[in-house]
Chain A
């Protein structure tokens, strides 16, 4: 058999990381130790796999080698024993039967879920959850995570250290979770994956550092769905993200300026992603257990199915947003429904729908953007200018601000 390419090994290591990290975490019950162990195992894999070929069970190999290497280090640190015996841990013939016996899929499932769950522990603020998951589960280098969050490496390292300390004191139980606990963890994990995706989606200009966060979120959702293949909400989440991400190439123009849905070149949408998402959504709906992710995916699907903007089923979108409102009123959901209402009944009705949200959404960029656009269409130029001015002050990215400035330019004067 031909020796595998080094980048093939890289791909194996990336793929094996969540399972291996999860098992090492269960063993050491400490994120830092588990990380070091995986690091060491990866280094040894890079040395040994090109020579000996890849082991049949890459995860099993990494777990055992990592575990032994870390144990050796702990022992060495404690000055309890001499140098580690390299031969004893790198013989793959010994490794595999043992691992195959011990680690069945069910074990892995709860291990990985725990690993993901630890990263989104409710004690952690949202940004720390995202950073921690990207570092621990996805294995993104610190520098890249720091750049995605526009902070220095030192600051990001401190943030991660604080997050890990908080997790240690939170003492997440390591026993196998019961069904209720498992469902609760799954919900928290789905929310975290959605959060990672949103970090990338708000600024998914392919040229931006953040764009890859969308890919990471999709990867994590695939991993979760492989573990829970019959969870309609996980299918819905993956479908939702695939649909939103399918438009990535069409969403930004020259200089990273956002292009609105109506103006996008739909030929640039990723057909394969859309097709997979629609298949997943079809499958999810067979379960007759709708939830917020499935509903949001269904909304995105109505956009994806429209060959041109005029073909969009705005009545359907309005109904789906109503269904979301019924499951828990959020002003943001109503704001989005207002866009559908403006298409169906005109700007006046939409404006009436969002005016009561002013208090709740005063600090929300998109509220003032939508409100400004509706006022503009009603010819209330002065009020529109004020709304857009407020939006610019709240813009999170330069591209968002530039986009609003285009509106202001169109309104002229000032």
Chain B
């Protein structure tokens, strides 16, 4: 079963991290990924919500930023291929130990179409 692990955190906190702190957190999460290497699929880190634009379907209304003004923002997600929800939760707990604060939402994946395209600096 494919599970997505959605990462939520307060952007006021994560954008206040120093470059070194940010790099350290990413390095710690990377270690967890390496431990789960056989089961981790694509990993996505999203740009801050200030770079987001939302299209509200019913009114064809475009607004700046995420549609929902929630305190904890979706910052990125992992896709893991594991047998059970318990195992997916174990992965999320591992991530949480590496980077406390915020929340992880574990949600089963319905459709999965990876194409290996890179992002801001992942393309090279």
Contacts and interface: CB of A to CB of B under 8 A. Distances in A.
Tell whether A and B belong to one assembly: yes
24 contacts: A2-B100, A4-B100, A7-B21, A8-B101, A11-B13, A11-B21, A12-B13, A15-B10, A15-B12, A19-B12, A215-B18, A219-B16, A222-B15, A226-B12, A230-B63, A274-B120, A275-B47, A275-B119, A276-B48, A276-B51, A279-B47, A279-B51, A280-B51, A283-B51
Nearest to B62: A286
Interface string A1-45: 010110110011011100100000000000000000000000000
B50 A271 contact: no
B121 A8 contact: no
B45 to A, nearest CB: 9
Given A2-B100, A8-B101, 14 more contacts: A2-B97, A8-B100, A11-B13, A14-B16, A219-B16, A229-B64, A230-B65, A235-B64, A271-B121, A272-B120, A272-B121, A280-B51, A283-B51, A283-B64
A8, A11, A283: most-surrounded residue (chain B CB, <10 A): A11
A238 B64 CA distance: 15
Nearest to B10: A15
A364 B114 CA distance: 54
Contacts of B121: 270-272, 275
A222 B50 contact: yes
A292 interface: no
B19 interface: yes
A272 B13 CA distance: 19
A-B CB proximity, top 4 nearest: A275-B120, A271-B121, A229-B65, A15-B16
A393 interface: no
Nearest to B96: A2
A225 B50 contact: yes
B16 A105 contact: no
A177 interface: no
Interface string B14-57: 01111101000000000000000000000000011111010000
Interface in B84-110: 96-97, 100-101
A148 interface: no
A52 to B, nearest CB: 15
Interface residues of A, number: 33
B16, B49, B63: most-surrounded residue (chain A CB, <10 A): B16
A106 to B, nearest CB: 11
A223 interface: yes
B116 to A, nearest CB: 18
Contact of B120 (A16, A223, A276): A276
A331 interface: no
Contacts of B97: 2
Interface of A: 2, 4-5, 7-8, 11-12, 14-16, 19, 54, 105, 215, 219, 222-223, 225-226, 229-230, 235, 238, 270-272, 274-276, 279-280, 283, 286
Nearest to A12: B13
Given A238-B50, A272-B121, A276-B120, A226 B11 contact: yes
B111 interface: no
A150 B63 CA distance: 44
Nearest to A16: B12
A11 B16 contact: yes
B76 to A, nearest CB: 13
Nearest to A271: B121
B69 interface: yes
A105 B12 contact: no
B124 interface: yes
Nearest to B45: A272
A204 to B, nearest CB: 13
A19 B71 CA distance: 13
A96 to B, nearest CB: 13
A222 B51 CA distance: 10
B1 to A, nearest CB: 26
A189 to B, nearest CB: 16
B120 A271 contact: yes
Contact of A283 (B17, B53, B101): B53
A105 B50 contact: no
A15 B21 CA distance: 14
A281 B15 CA distance: 19
Contacts of A275: 47, 119-121
Contacts of B101: 4, 8, 11-12, 54
Contact of A280 (B17, B50, B63): B50
Contacts of B21: 7, 11
Given A15-B10, A275-B120, A275-B121, A222 B48 contact: yes
A359 B19 CA distance: 43
A11 B124 CA distance: 31
